[in-house]
Chain A
Amino acid sequence: MRDAFSNALVAAAKADPKVLLLTGDHGYALFDAFRKACPDQYINCGIAEQNMVGVAAGLAKAGYRPVVYGLAAFVPVRVVEQIKIDICYEQLPVILIGDGAGVVYSHLGASHQSFEDISVLRPIPHLSIYSPADRHELTASMDAMFASKSACYMRMGKADLGDVHEGPVTAESAIINVRDEKETTLIIATGSGVNTALQIADSLGGAAVYSVPRIKPFTAADLGPVIGGRKRIIVIEEHSVHGGLASTIAELIVGKFQGQFHAYGVRDQFSETCGDYRHLMQEHGLSAQAIMHDLEAA
């Protein structure tokens, strides 16, 4: 997925000299190809994210296409106000990238983990939110963001879980069918959650799985055709259950869907212990095993 990101970025920058990559002194190896291909379009803004976002707004006002890269814990979480006022209020076409979202930085603790990036951005107008599950969704998301005339945020989470789609997907849909045999159980997931969803579907002996690469805009028109005939909806996301994908879906179906609704995400808590990615996903009850256990108990 990171190669897909680098490739899409380099291709966009080569095609349009107005594309500029701004980083808050992050992305060491990730930007090797970019720096080699487009050295004049690479701006390291130093460890100063608030200024970086303001500078991006100024560049966008003057006709440039800034891509602002940081860790999700910093971009957007540290700079929400700059995103709101400097970028979104003026509907500037700035692309924001939050890398390492969720518990990717598992050993580093609360400062580098981010379960709240989607929640804090969803209420801000003129901002689209992408959360790709694999390299195909990422490439489609990048295409959509570069085609957009307003601001976009893309969260990049756990990147090495493998593909969930067999080939390229299109960027038009907020929600994509991964597999659907019209089962009564529907799993809707985003990011790393899609991989988990496929495991859950197998363990359940069958369930429809849909991926949501675009969390905003995400409307009843996107969701409606997917939920017909279902008796149970399971949502999985490596993000807080408060304000992310589960909230988005719950807001849309309340009063309209009569079946069971299970939201699996990070509960109202920080990571308590140190350990690897699998360990922390287990701690938060987000491993396939933990989710199955919970579903069986439900």
Chain B
Amino acid sequence: MADFDPKRIRRTILDMAYSGKTVHIGCAFSIVELLAVLYRTHLRFPDDNPRHEHRDYMVLSKGHGVMAQYACLGEKGWLSDEALHNYFKNGSALKGLADTHIPGVEVTSGSLGHGLSVGTGLALAAKLSKTDQKCFAIVGDGEINEGPIWEAALFATHFKLDNLVVIVDANGFQAMGTTDEVMALGNIESKFAAFGFDAVTIDGHDEDSIDETVRKLCDTQNGRPKALIAQTVKGKGVSFMEHDNIWHYTRLNETTYADAIAELGAAA
């Protein structure tokens, strides 16, 4: 049984990034615990089928963190070690941003501000069909600069989509700097609350807290959509990557790869 050990997920991400000579490591590291808890405990896939019509939906609206989702799909057994290892090889399937052609990936993202609307449609479909399916949508704090995020927030409240859980990966960075420097967001929790969400802010790396909060939010079927503001660290897990936005763009070399793997230690 996959246990979604965050250390192993981060090692998988490092292996992908190193073998694929690719970027966005920091974006993936900040959402590891969030995805681990969701896949381990909360997301339901009948018949273990990522495309089952009654599945819960894991929408990665901030497609830049997709390596973390690929690693989790590997833990699920839906992606082979070979597929993960061949990341970015010519002719391979896994692309550098979330892509619906991969079973388990619900939206094609990377162009930001799309996924939450699609997720809102999925949540509405579940309500119309009177199923108990949930939709979790992870958006970046940088991503919520995009207007459609707030269109979706209005819509979700208006249509009483309490089966929609928006998770804001609040790592405090976007491409060109901190969110404060680029486009100050103010209090994210109070913004979602003002839109009519049940909103709560937690440590996005504390698995127990994530688990407990998601459970509580999902159990509160009061007609209000949910927002979990996850305070995270971009690059979490490797000391020289943490809070350093250079790891949005930097590729691993032999030394940094070895150092990062060594820091993560043995996976459980």
Contacts and interface: CB of A to CB of B under 8 A. Distances in A.
Interface of A: 20, 43, 45-46, 48, 50-64, 81-82, 85-86, 89-90
A64 B151 CA distance: 21
A55 B147 CA distance: 15
A45 B125 contact: no
Contact of A56 (B100, B121, B148, B152): B121
- Interface footprint category on B: 20 to 34
Contacts of A48: 148, 151, 154-155
A59 to B, nearest CB: 5
Interface stretch (B5-13, B107-115, B203-211, B246-254): B107-115
A82 B159 CA distance: 21
A56 B129 CA distance: 15
Contact of B118 (A45, A46, A64, A86): A86
Interface of B: 53, 100, 106-108, 111, 113-126, 128-129, 147-148, 151-152, 154-155, 158-159
A61 B126 contact: no
A202 B66 CA distance: 61
A43 B114 CA distance: 19
Contacts, number: 94
B148 A63 contact: no
A11 B265 CA distance: 63
A57 B121 contact: yes
A50 B151 contact: yes
B118 A58 contact: yes
Contacts of B125: 58-59, 61-64
9 contacts: A46-B154, A48-B148, A51-B151, A54-B117, A54-B120, A55-B121, A56-B121, A61-B118, A61-B122
A57 B123 CA distance: 12
Contacts of A54: 114-118, 120-121, 148, 152
Contact of A64 (B116, B128, B147, B152): B128
B114 A85 contact: yes
A58 B154 contact: no
Contacts of B128: 20, 59, 64
